[in-house]
Chain A
């Protein structure tokens, strides 16, 4: 089990979000999600088959479901507990639930960098 929290020297904007390297891109299998702890927050990082990366809050706002265990496609992430779906584009729930929080995430030299 590896939950890494390496704060890098990425350009730290004054007080706003900071970039954190959370692990290797390969820690997240194609099409799935994995949870990381970033600056004290739990963040779920997803790697879609189209190559895009997404990062969300780890717990579903509906009833705390583990979002990293959900199924997803190019448009939405579906929580495994009650199948609420959340749009990657803005985190909004398509079922009328609360939205999820999205974090910027990108790859750098094979590492996953999340801004929290």
Chain B
């Protein structure tokens, strides 16, 4: 095997362990930190920010070989939503640049508190004047038969979920594993379960308590959460201990206390964490559940401090990052002398489940504790919604939001800052539609907390903007808002925009059309036109830094060039995604799906017969009616594609492209007793006109014969609704996929010709102005309906004629790709199998 896992945040050549040695002329006192996690590294940052680099010679011991990374983001990394490189907080270079000696990959074992020396696993003894323990926690593995291998390590296939190395190992295992058991139905267990399921594993969750998230939720909410989790396809076993790992040399199953056995080739143990206190115990410090500290984070040894999850303060041990970071700030104040009297008095905690699937937010207590506590509950088990608040003396002391977290921003403010509560308590949980505006960004008090992880207030953000930060990215870097779990990012953005009042420069790279070329779309389009760049490779050569190509930019560029040049583009297959290379959608086993065009969802007996014959001839494993009103032939071998198209004799339905897809229709005035217009014919006409048009993202249309909306026109990129007397409403920006949004009424017109013209005009405007992969449901609200109406209906920019001409050029350039490549392949081996011979799991034949 070639290649090992790189050190996260490491230098390319590998580990750095620069030890500067003890310089007798250096008069700075020696500050040693044990633990390079979220608390330890943050503490070092806080010290440096207070000018501590002049005061201290800093050494950091980190058991993990990596730089410091955002542990919270391991869940999205496991889910494949976040790249591991993007969760690095401080790279090895950062330590070197700041004169901090990082002993990465070195474990500190013991402290000689009398001689003030730290003994480490590499045999060194490091003197200190001040010592900070930030050793965090480890995943607790409950006693189970067979869970450990002979060498004492976990059995192959068993993982904790705490470090990047464990996350990498699980990711690697997802490729070969089919069934996972997750032990623990708390936050971490749920996130792990959801992430693994996203990789296609069958996941079962085993939880010893009678309901899920029992630390944060009450029984009723827990029961609703269970249903929601189950509806995601994750099996949940409650009130039962996993007692045995079956398998011997690797995991093959998990045995439960009630005798049941679950089949599994992967077991994640997320049954809680325990503070890493060994070093404290061995060194004679006072240790209970954690290393005991006072309000200045000092242990019972006056020169040793403890922060983060390993510390126990006033009886509390925390498992969240916000308290850890508060510790870091207070201790930095104390040690650098910035505020020698700074004290920490405990944290109030709030939790959010980050991985998509079920929305949960919890803060404070979940049930009333005193006689006069107010308690308001809204429970809708069917919808998976359970909302509750606990109010004491007119202050919010707890809230639980399950299945609907729209009110989380307001409640968090109320909880953190004791903001006044509405008289009608129900307004805490739902918006009553009496026109009263929601608390907007402008009305938020300056001291209300926006980022919980980092304790950043609205005022801090405004301060950063006033202090010269000109982009959301800069504000986030300066204040750290949004740099923890990230759930506040959109609020941060809103506040920055409000505070900057139009002065904002976008994050440069955020505005680039594709990541590999530093240009926004209009600029890029102008350069392409000006320099007459007609192929993807020519664009890279002329416009990319160093002329380097970039895999992730190729699809977007190909699409843009096709729009700009129509016929005159120089095609390059290697600039296309595989779907576009072979005009079919790749499937999980490397086969493809074939969706012939079926305009407006209307077919004929002859067409159906043809499809049936072809399906038999090529042994198509599944024939399915799609959600787009046509027929999908799934599981087709790549090498069969050209012959199949030939036999079908039908044009491509473009079900694979970032392009115009379908027009769904209802039966309309021809047959339906309510029909007010011939929606079927108009749908066919629209599809005929716009077939195959490339666009920044998919465009799906529908036409319905009356507002009963049987073909869902209100939720399409363009939706057309007959309202009688020959009149049609045209809606744009609707969606009912990953986002659900009702389209905005662009215009009401009096003829089908006008519908066709307006649709084309809107499409072209979208094609020219939308970002790559930006669907109309984001594009329309981004520009605002009013602006779009002005441009398209009143010609406020004088571009209507150009738009109409532009779309016509693309319409004229249409050729059916199936007809084309079936006759003559575009490249050598275009349809050659890429995984020809090994037997992969095939989609089962139905």
Contact = CB atoms under 8 A, between A and B. Distances in A.
Interface residues of B, number: 52
A72 B551 CA distance: 5
A69 to B, nearest CB: 4
B549 A73 contact: yes
Interface residues on A, range: 35 or more
Contacts of B843: none
Contacts of A74: 548-549
Interface string B1-36: 111111000000000000000000000000000000
Interface in A12-58: 26-35, 37, 42, 44, 49, 58
A49 B549 contact: yes
B590 A63 contact: no
Contacts of A114: none
A34 B833 CA distance: 8
Contact of B3 (A35, A77, A91): A91
A97 B85 CA distance: 13
A100 B172 CA distance: 11
B828 A69 contact: no
A75 B553 CA distance: 13
Contacts of B550: 73
B552 interface: yes
B91 to A, nearest CB: 15
Contact of B836 (A3, A26, A29, A33): A3
A97 B83 CA distance: 11
B179 to A, nearest CB: 15
Interface string A77-116: 1101110010100111011111111100000000000000
A81 B66 CA distance: 29
Contacts of B548: 73-75
A77 B573 CA distance: 15
Nearest to B586: A80
B278 interface: no
B303 interface: no
Interface of A is mostly: loop
Q: Which of B3, B171, B577, B586 has the most CB of A within 10 A?
A: B3
B497 interface: no
Contacts, number: 151
Given A63-B175, A70-B578, A85 B551 contact: yes
Contacts of A64: 175, 589-590, 835, 840
Contacts of A69: 578, 581, 586, 590, 834
Contacts of B77: 96
A5 B599 CA distance: 46
B484 to A, nearest CB: 21
Given A31-B572, A31-B574, A81-B588, A98 B832 contact: no
Nearest to A92: B3
A33 B834 CA distance: 9
Contacts of B840: 59, 64
A102 B835 CA distance: 17
B420 interface: no
14 contacts: A3-B836, A33-B834, A34-B834, A42-B838, A44-B834, A63-B588, A64-B175, A64-B835, A66-B835, A71-B555, A76-B551, A80-B577, A85-B551, A99-B1
Given A73-B516, A98-B175, A101-B2, 7 more contacts: A27-B829, A30-B574, A31-B572, A35-B832, A90-B2, A92-B5, A96-B171
Interface of A: 1, 3, 26-35, 37, 42, 44, 49, 58-78, 80-82, 85, 87, 90-92, 94-102
Interface of B: 1-6, 77, 80, 83-85, 164, 167-168, 171-172, 174-175, 199-200, 516, 537, 548-552, 554-555, 572-575, 577-578, 581, 586, 588-590, 639, 827-829, 832-838, 840
